[in-house]
Each structure stands twice: as C-alpha cells, then as structure tokens.
Amino acid sequence: ETGVTQTPRHLVMGMTNKKSLKCEQHLGHNAMYWYKQSAKKPLELMFVYSLEERVENNSVPSRFSPECPNSSHLFLHLHTLQPEDSALYLCASSQGGTSDTQYFGPGTRLTVL
Amino acid sequence: GNSVTQMEGPVTLSEEAFLTINCTYTATGYPSLFWYVQYPGEGLQLLLKATKADDKGSNKGFEATYRKETTSFHLEKGSVQVSDSAVYFCALSTDSWGKLQFGAGTQVVVTP
C-alpha cells in the first residue's frame, strides 16, 4: 500500500465502548497528526507526533488517547465518548517542516450513539 | 494567534466559468500558505502552496499568489470542470512541526 491508510473507515460505538483508530503511513515521514473534522467547526488539530514523541496536545479531552509506537503508525484510543465526538477523524503525515506538505488518509467516520 | 478566513460557500458555478475563492490570514512571522482540496468521501490533498511573499503556486489549472501586503492567498481557476466539485481549504503553517491552521472550507459545486 502507498500513502496514508486509516482503519476502520467507519465506526459506530456506544458511549461506554472502547475502540481504537489506526493510521499507517508508507512515506517515510517523521511527523504524524490527528485532526477532527465535524460539520459545525473547521478542521481541528488534535495531536502532533514528531519522531514518535508527542509535541502537541491541543487541549483535547482525556477520553481521546493517542499512541505512536513507531514513526509509521499512529493510534487514537477512544473511551467513554460523547455524541458530540461524532466526526470524521483524519490522520496525516509529513516531514515536519513549516513548508512541508501534509499527506492525509481518507479518514474514519465515527458515530457515537 | 494565527487565523485563516475564507469565503463561505457553497459556490455554484457552470462548467467553464471562472472561479475565485478568497482567503486572508493573520499570522505572526512568515507563514507558508496552502490550498488543500477534499473530494467527496476522501481525505484532504494538497492542491498548491507558496512559501514566501510573491510566490505563485499552481497546479491543475489552479493558481494562488502569496500577497504579504494584503495578507491574502486567493485561489483562482479560469475554466472549471464538473470534476472540480469539492471542498477547498486555505491553510497556513508557521511552526517547525508543520502544524496547519485551516480556514472553514468552501464548497464548490460545478454544474454541466
């Protein structure tokens, strides 16, 4: 596979469930990002990892827990979510510089019941 | 803080019409500027970018010029096609981690 992949593409979960979103990049990049895209707000940056270290946590509630075990994989662990957390979650990767292009995955459409 | 403002949509055009999407920004330092496009059911992909004042980014017939004096990065295309129907996002980056600040997005609908 090439580029940035995300699984699952769709996820429906109850408020008491625990689930994880997975992102994998095949581009040899150093930085990976989680974004939230909801209908009512602009794209929101959630987390940034550079060389497997978290360098940004954009005031995200603790019910979202990221994990970056290596430079190719990024996870977003979800627990006790709220219906307002329903959104498209996008993963991206880049070399990490100011002018570098970010490459996005297709996203996971999350619905919290 | 940094911010990006772009015109609200949806913008509806006929095929072969001229498209302009306005984008202005507020930033400290010297940002890099980007236009990303999101086709239905897909993630975002880079359309074009410019990294310093007066640079012009171009791709697939789209163009945008980095105007420092007006803090703008307007997107233009001379003749749109139905396949250009998508949501277009203006964005900037100022830090070394490459974090992007996005505008709200503009939906463009091109009809035959």
pLDDT digits (tens, 9 = 90+) for B93-110: 988 788 899 999 999 999
Please report the pLDDT score of residue A1 as a whole number: 55
Q: Which residues of A touch B34 (CB under 8 A)?
A: 101
Instruction: Please name the member of B51, B94, B98 whose beta carbon is closest to the beta carbon of A94.
Output: B98
Question: Which regions in chain A score pLDDT beneath 50?
Answer: none
Q: Which residues of B touch A105 (CB under 8 A)?
A: 43
Instruction: Please name the member of B46, B51, B102 whose beta carbon is closest to the beta carbon of A42.
Output: B102
Rounded to an integer, what distance in angstroms lies between the CA atom of residue B91 and that of residue A35?
A: 14
Please report the pLDDT score of residue A42 as a whole number: 83
Phi-psi label, residue B71: left if phi above 0, alpha if psi -120 to 50, beta otherwise: left
Residue B54 confidence (pLDDT) above 70: yes
Task: Give, as one character, the DSSP assignment of residue A102.
Answer: P
Please report the pLDDT score of residue B39 as a whole number: 94
Please report the pLDDT score of residue A54 as a whole number: 80
- Omega before residue A8 within 30° of 0, cis: yes
Q: Strand, helix or coil at A73?
A: strand
Residue B80 confidence (pLDDT) above 90: yes
Least confident of A51-55, A76-80, B56-60, B73-77: A51-55
Mean local confidence (pLDDT), B73-88:
97
Question: Mean pLDDT over all residues of chain B?
Answer: 94
Interface A-B, measured as beta-carbon pairs within 8 A, has a size of: 66
Interface of B with A (CB under 8 A): 31-32, 34, 36, 41-46, 49, 51, 89, 93-105
Nearest CA in chain B to A50: B97
Nearest CA in chain A to B40: A106
Residue B22 confidence (pLDDT) above 90: yes
Amino acid residing at A84: E
Residue B42 confidence (pLDDT) above 60: yes
Q: What is the tens place of the pLDDT at every residue in A78-106?
A: 999 999 999 999 999 998 888 889 999 99
Would you state the structure tokens that stand for residue B68, as one six-digit string? 């420092």
Please report the pLDDT score of residue A96 as a whole number: 82
